Amino acid sequence: MAYPTTNSASRKRHVPRLKFRDERIFYYLALGPTTIVIAFVIALPIIYTFALGFFVQNTLIRTWRFAGLSNYSDLLTDADFWIAFWNGVVFTVGSTAVATVVGLAIAILLDCNFRGRGPLRALVIFPYIVPSIVVAFIWKFIFSGRGILNDFLSFIGAQAVSVPWLGDQRFAMMAVILISAWTWFPFAAITLLAAIQNVPDNIYEAAALDGAGPVRRFFHLTLPLLAPALMVVVLIRAIWAFRNYDMIWLLTKGGPIGATEVLPIMAFKEAFGLFRMGHASAVSVYLMVFVTLLAAIHFRVGARLRQAYDTS
């Protein structure tokens, strides 16, 4: 950093960078407490969970037995584990896709000129910040057997489909996906709106002059230009959907008959329903491995995008 300095002290020492006198004290004071907290509430618990996976442990009768890899290996042949895994994949793909598509449509809408656009942009965030238990209650009410959704369906003449959506094995997953997408679309909408606003208008004007209609402009301009932002939204959303616990638990508790049971719920039931902590730890370690894989992809893609866009 070539900065003209009149400070004789720093010139004498020939330090390439400017330095405050008490750098060290500040550095340790500022970073120390955070490091300690992170070590105690994040690093140690993760290590503990890993270790606990090697034990057969029951907190109710307080028995401990070293079991080697059996918790981890048993799960790989456990049908319930793989059902929960695939349920998680379906939930993740479904809720991410719905939230992203709806979010994209809303981002495009919010980019148009109309009166009241500012307040509406803020209002869109609201479903995202309401406590998940409130969201779950409202939609349970709407989706219940004698709820407003079934009233609406019979009103438009679809009287045959009058089911308790969340309590029906065939529809529970779909309902859970839609409800989760409802709380998560604001994230996609606001992030994609920011990306759309970064696209220079003159590209569209040029395309319009060349005779490209709105549909072609969307597929040949908007989508490719938004691809990086879309990628980030999808990955972050997918990570959060796959590790999500409370929304599904509050809506269906993993039921009916395991139709919406995902890995976090399986781990929770093992730990606090059956009190098999070792088993639960192994499930959550696998969950963490899957989430870490997604996170690694996210970091990779993020780094590559940053490179590609910084150099251009």
Member of 33, 68, 224, 273 binding other proteins (CB under 8 A):
33
Q: How far is CA 119 from the centre of its chain?
A: 26
Binding of other proteins at residue 104 (CB under 8 A)? no
Binding of other proteins at residue 158 (CB under 8 A)? no
Which CA distances in Å does 139 have to 23, 73, 90, 205, 275?
A: 54, 39, 20, 43, 31
| Beta strand extents in the chain (DSSP E only) | 55-58, 63-66
Please count the residues of this chain forming the interface with other proteins, following the rule CB under 8 A. Answer: 98
Q: What does the block give as tokens for 288? A: 């963490």
Which CA distances in Å does 59 have to 62, 65, 272?
A: 5, 12, 9
Q: Which of residues 177-216 bind other proteins (CB under 8 A)?
A: 182, 186-187, 190-191, 194, 197-198, 201
Cα–Cα dist 208/177, whole Å: 37
- Interface pattern 7-26 for other proteins (x via CB under 8 A): x----------xxxxxx-xx
Whose Cβ is closer to other proteins: residue 81's or residue 245's? 245
Least separation in angstroms between residue 52's CB and other proteins is: 7
Instruction: Tally helices (H) and strands (E) across the chain.
Output: 16, 2
- Vertex 115: Cα angle to 111 and 121 (nearest 5): 45
Whose Cβ is closer to other proteins: residue 70's or residue 144's? 144
**What phi and psi, each to the nearest 5 degrees, are found at residue 276?**
-95, 85
Least separation in angstroms between residue 275's CB and other proteins is: 10
Q: Are 288 and 46 in contact (CB under 8 A)?
A: yes
Whose Cβ is closer to other proteins: residue 142's or residue 305's? 142
Candidates 78-86, 122-130, 222-230, 304-312: pick the segment binding other proteins (CB under 8 A): 122-130
Candidates 158-166, 218-226, 242-250, 303-311: pick the segment binding other proteins (CB under 8 A): 242-250
Binding of other proteins at residue 66 (CB under 8 A)? no
Cα–Cα dist 11/33, whole Å: 34
Binding of other proteins at residue 41 (CB under 8 A)? yes
Binding of other proteins at residue 169 (CB under 8 A)? no
Member of 67, 236, 251, 259 binding other proteins (CB under 8 A):
236
- Interface pattern 263-302 for other proteins (x via CB under 8 A): -x--xx--xx----x--xx--xx-xx--xx-xx-------
Partners of residue 66 on adjacent β-strands: 55
Q: What does the block give as tokens for 237? A: 């959303």
Whose Cβ is closer to other proteins: residue 91's or residue 182's? 182
